[in-house]
Amino acid sequence: MFKKQLSLFEDLRATSQQAIDLTIQSLNTYGKDFDHWQISFSGGKDSSTVVTLVCDLIEQKLIKRPKTLTVMYADTRQELPPLEASARQILKEVERREFNTKIVCAPLDKRFWVYMLGRGVPPPNNNTLRWCTQQIKLNPMIEALQELQKQLNDEPILCLTGVRQGESAARDNRISISCSKNGGECGQGWFQRDLKFPTLAPILHWRVCQVWDWLMLDAPEIGFETEILAECYGGDEAIELEARTGCIGCPLASRDLALENLIKKYPEKWGYLEPLKQIRQWHEWARKFENRHQKHDERNKNGKRSKNPNRKGPLTLDARKILLETILNIQARCNGLKPEGSPKICLINHEEELRIRELIALKTFPNRWTGEEPIGNALSDMIAQDGTVTLLLPLDWGAVGLEVANG
């Protein structure tokens, strides 16, 4: 049972009804100028709130009904099972209410495991190689929006998102800056007029407790089975934990908290996901230099040395083969433990597996790599962009570096 944490200052805060009223004002103020609305739906708590709330407000005739409303679900193929199950149910209910839905997925060769294991690109990291979000989520959504606009004869589309203040300091700073330039407005929601696709965040002002009030108490009463979504965030402790969800085994997060909480709190229902915890350590394994190639004195097309002439690069073919079998094994072990009626785990489907094996057989590598480069842990002289060379002595000499000038 969902439990709301009361505060001594409860009376000083905006109520959930006041938050909904401000959302209604926001949608009526900005939505009236657009015949076509689109909602970017990730399956998380905030975008789920926007989808379910907007559908209900339209049906109650509290906001203008656009000529078309299209809910686009970003299927990254990496979501936790309860999150995906909730998203699919919400989409089904949206369709029942005669609104449009579309499942958006990256092209086969751009999907997470195909790109990583088939092409050899190392796991994403927070510093220099954060390729995943743009490639498997944002770019497919932009392409789907462009296709939708073509179908609508290039008529303008209002895009609705679940962005809220308070989710992260970095995001709040971006909101603050954008509200003062390029047509940005945030008096009633956060409206960005001058983007290619004008975008409105109608629940910008909602607090997390109001989000959970809606998802746990209100949305189920109008036909949306959103209770399962809370399980990813800690169930009845969702507000206290303030948990965030991410991809299964996300290599950018320090811990897989959503997965850990899910297994700990609901062992009988979700305990079969235990093997998924191992994915994180395999991302770390893949980053090790012995599993990757490296450049030696790399040159650009103009003949000058690149910025990092000795950079580490893609996964070796052998490492990719090991990872493929490992991920498939984790998938099989989960499904072998799966209780009857629970969703199957599909980290890599049959089509993706065939494509990965095909790309490995073709010895596919990222641009400017051939697979003939040295292994990443092989000792070699280190050459800087300015030509400075650090001579590396054999391992039994202690790998002492001697810097010499290169004229």
| pLDDT single digits (tens) 68-111 | 999 999 999 999 988 999 999 999 999 999 999 999 999 999 99
Rounded to whole angstroms, the maximal C-alpha distance in the chain is 79
pLDDT 10s digits, 350-394 = 999 999 999 999 999 999 899 999 998 887 766 777 777 776 644
pLDDT-derived band of residue 406, with 50, 70 and 90 as boundaries? very low
The pLDDT score that the predictor gives to residue 253 is 82
Position 391 scores a pLDDT of 62
Structure tokens at 351: 């089509």
Instruction: Average the pLDDT over 236-261 and give the result.
Output: 74
Residue 239, pLDDT > 50, answer: yes
This prediction has a pTM of 0.82
- How far apart CA 97 and CA 339 sit, in angstroms, is 32
The pLDDT tens digits of the residues spanning 17-47 come to 999 999 999 999 999 999 999 999 999 999 9
pLDDT level of residue 148 (50, 70, 90 thresholds): very high
- For residues 288 and 323, the answer to whether their CB atoms sit within 8 Å is no
Query: Is pLDDT larger for residue 6 or for residue 236?
Result: 236
Render pLDDT for 130-147 as a digit per residue (tens, 0 to 9): 899 899 999 999 999 999
201 bridge partner residues: 190
The encoded tokens of residue 218 equal 């209100």
pLDDT digits (tens, 9 = 90+) for 211-221: 999 999 999 99
Average pLDDT over residues 227-246: 67
pLDDT tens per residue across span 284-309: 999 999 999 988 777 788 878 777 77
CB contact set of 334 (below 8 Å; sequence gap of 6+): 272, 273, 274, 275, 276, 345
Is residue 224 within 8 A of residue 216, CB to CB? The reply is no
- Averaged pLDDT of the chain: 84
Tell me the average pLDDT across 393-406.
41
**pLDDT at residue 273 is higher than 80:** yes
User: Per-residue confidence at 8, pLDDT binned at 50, 70, 90?
Assistant: very low
DSSP codes joined into one string, 37-60 = EEEEE-SSHHHHHHHHHHHHHHHT
pLDDT greater at residue 246 or residue 403: 246
Give the residue, 192 or 171, on which the prediction is more confident.
192
pLDDT at 2: 41
Among residues of the chain, what percentage have pLDDT more than 90? 62
The confidence band for 397, taking pLDDT boundaries of 50, 70 and 90, is very low
| DSSP per-residue letters across 310-358 | T-EEEEPHHHHHHHHHHHHHHHHHHHHHPPTTSPPP-SS-HHHHHHHHH
**Is pLDDT of 238 > 90?**
no
Residue 312 has pLDDT above 50, yes or no: yes
For residue 373, give the DSSP letter.
S
CA 262/CA 269 separation, integer angstroms: 9
